Chains A and B, each alone.
Chain A
Amino acid sequence: MFAYIIRRLIGAVILLFVVSMVTFAIFFLVPRIAGATVEDMASRYVGKTADEAAIHSMAERLGFTDPLYEQYGRFVAGIFAGADYDTGAEVVHCPAPCFGYSFITRNPVWPDLVDRMGVTISLALGAAVIWLAFGVGTGVVSALRRGTFFDRASMGIALAGVSLPIFFTGLLSLTIFSYGLGWTAPGGSYTDFAEDPLQWAGALILPWITLAFLNAAGYARLTRATMLETMNEDFIRTARAKGLNERTVVVKHGLRSVLTPILTIFGLDLGILLGGAVLTESTYSLPGLGKYAVDAIVSNDLPKVLGVTLVGATFIIIANLVVDLLYAVVDPRVRYS
């Protein structure tokens, strides 16, 4: 088990490096390939009225004229040791971990990210609890009562659920429950949990339910399909034949095989959400990581986008790592393969 953990950890670290390199290349290499000059890239860091010489000196100060690997090396060094950014007027120190410095709002990116993370984590974890409970529960009951009204109705709803974009259901929910009935807070309001837990939940209840509905639909479909397959297996017949009651057969033998596929997509889904529930946050105007990234793109603030993307990738890799380790706990065969 120990060797397995070490192997996975090393793999995750290597993956993180590769992903950060590719991300970096996309931000600084792809624009060049698409035809932008270093001056084009630097022009977004200076005022619109700047002349060519000013833009060029900015490009040099930002290091855009250096080879890409040097720029990447500087960026990585900044994460561990902090970095200095020359804005022209003054030299600003960006303390470690430095995930870049925004020349538009004139502040380091990392404190912003830490600020926004709470919102995204609240949103993602809250929704995850709801969708796991409802999705897996509905899927299991549907599989056990296959062909009944409950099965047909819930699978119909689930299919509609996976076909509805969250920016449509979100808008509908805001129109009906928030604006029409006045039950919940309008979009854009968010209170920290530490300040007032009730207001925190009140602002998040609609996003939680909408996001959970969307995901629960997919989980219900997957759980039902896996459960149906499992309940036809020989070991289920054996369990029944040796006289176990149906409850034990379903819970101890049937559910166990559902766990593996659910765990896989749950890890992936949660990892993606933690890096910014972009659509949910944009629809409800919640100040999380995803909204931060979208706002940054609109204002052309690339260092911020780079920061969020790297943090998002890190979350996904960590989530996958946790899933891999849980696998080894659930299914001992994994450790030895």
Chain B
Amino acid sequence: MTAPLEVSSGSSEAQPEAALQGMGKKAIQGRSLGQIAWMRLKRDKVAMVSGILIVVMIIAAVVALLLDRVFGVIDPNAFNQDLIDPDLQIPRGAMGGISLEHPFGVEPINGRDILTRIFAGSWISLLIGFAATLLSVLIGTVMGVIAGYFRGWVDTFISRLMDVFLAFPLLLFAIALVGVVPDNAFGFGRDGSRIFMLIFIIGFFSWPYIGRIIRAQTLSLREREFIDASRSLGARAPHVLFKELLPNLVAPILVYSTLLIPTNILFEAALSFLGVGIQPPSATWGTMLSEASRWYQVDAWYMVFPGLAIFITVLAFNLFGDGLRDALDPRAR
């Protein structure tokens, strides 16, 4: 059994019969599932556009990380006091002080540039989104495969464990945990330890969702003939699990991960909005919205661009994930 997403190579030689029948260079080729999915995905314009947008955002986030934290070229905390009305404490001019120099406007009180801050905050959102997803998918897949394959008391134990995890009010829990762990834990510095904490909390408490999906898939896959064949050939459990079962789970794992990333980005933004995520003055989209919520009556423009940044990022991942699911599983259409 070959992996569905592996690009098969052996079938590229021209078929002699086909050539004889005048099909010329258009020889019949075997296509792997991955190739078929890729062809379908390429035809899905919405998914391709969101995919490209995601790549651009990732590159932008890496650039932002380098410029802000490594080279210090941009300063998201630079004040522009001259742009602020000294009496009202809000930006001068219409629409939150939008100008050529500050296309997204500036913040109230100290006039920090909103575009720079959104740019500088992008890597935190994406890093937490990706890393937390990776963590929960990793734990969920391992647990799900083990529970589904070995069944019996192992399955009972893991399933009950998942029940316990699912019974926690996740958001309340995350708030509480961030509150009880000291700020400088793990010795990563202020932002570093917060980021590490958030990745751990979000990732560690959301694994049962994918765990359940993988367990159900494994339960049905393990009854299939190719697993029987592999076992009767004398393969041991690790071989069956990693070489036979896992390749067949790549598609659901991939789809689920793509759809989990936006959820986790929203989660991080929510925690920062509540004031228990990344702490000011570091810029993240959630903290910016949190500050904007105090100004909505006098400077409503403040909230628009951080909110749009979250919306567009999350929407792009959701659209791409939907397209990917349709491409990998045509029945879902």
Contact = CB atoms under 8 A, between A and B. Distances in A.
B182 interface: yes
Contacts of A179: 296-297, 300
A297 interface: yes
A171 B172 CA distance: 21
A216 interface: no
Interface string B307-333: 100110011001100100000000010
Contacts of B293: 167, 171, 283
Contacts of B172: 275-276, 278, 290, 293, 305, 308-309, 312
Nearest to A320: B167
B19 interface: no
A317 interface: yes
Interface in B273-320: 273-276, 289-290, 292-293, 296-297, 300, 303, 307, 310-311, 314-315, 318-319
A165 interface: yes
A294 B175 contact: yes
A109 to B, nearest CB: 14
A159 B319 CA distance: 8
Contacts of A312: 169, 172
Contacts of A282: 273-274
A86 B314 CA distance: 50
Interface residues of B, number: 45
A310 to B, nearest CB: 9
Contacts of A160: 311, 315
B277 to A, nearest CB: 12
A261 interface: no
B289 A272 contact: no
Contacts of A316: 166-169
Interface in A282-320: 282-283, 290, 293-294, 297-298, 300, 302, 305-306, 308-309, 312-313, 315-317, 320
B180 interface: yes
Contact of A167 (B167, B182, B289): B289
B262 interface: yes
A35 interface: yes
B23 interface: no
Contacts of B332: 225
A31 interface: yes
A171 B307 contact: yes
Contacts of A320: 166-167
Contacts of B237: none
Nearest to A14: B160
A302 B169 contact: no
A22 interface: yes
B7 interface: no
A165 B270 CA distance: 8
A31 B270 contact: no
B180 A27 contact: yes
Given A36-B182, A305-B172, 10 more contacts: A18-B164, A160-B311, A165-B269, A168-B307, A276-B171, A297-B179, A302-B179, A309-B169, A309-B173, A312-B169
17 contacts: A19-B167, A163-B262, A164-B311, A165-B307, A167-B269, A167-B273, A167-B290, A272-B170, A276-B169, A278-B171, A278-B270, A279-B171, A282-B274, A297-B179, A305-B172, A305-B179, A313-B167
Closest 6 CB pairs of A and B: A312-B169, A168-B307, A163-B315, A163-B314, A297-B179, A275-B169
Interface of A: 15, 18-19, 22-23, 26-27, 30-31, 34-36, 40, 159-160, 162-165, 167-168, 171-172, 174-175, 179, 225, 268, 272, 275-276, 278-279, 282-283, 290, 293-294, 297-298, 300, 302, 305-306, 308-309, 312-313, 315-317, 320
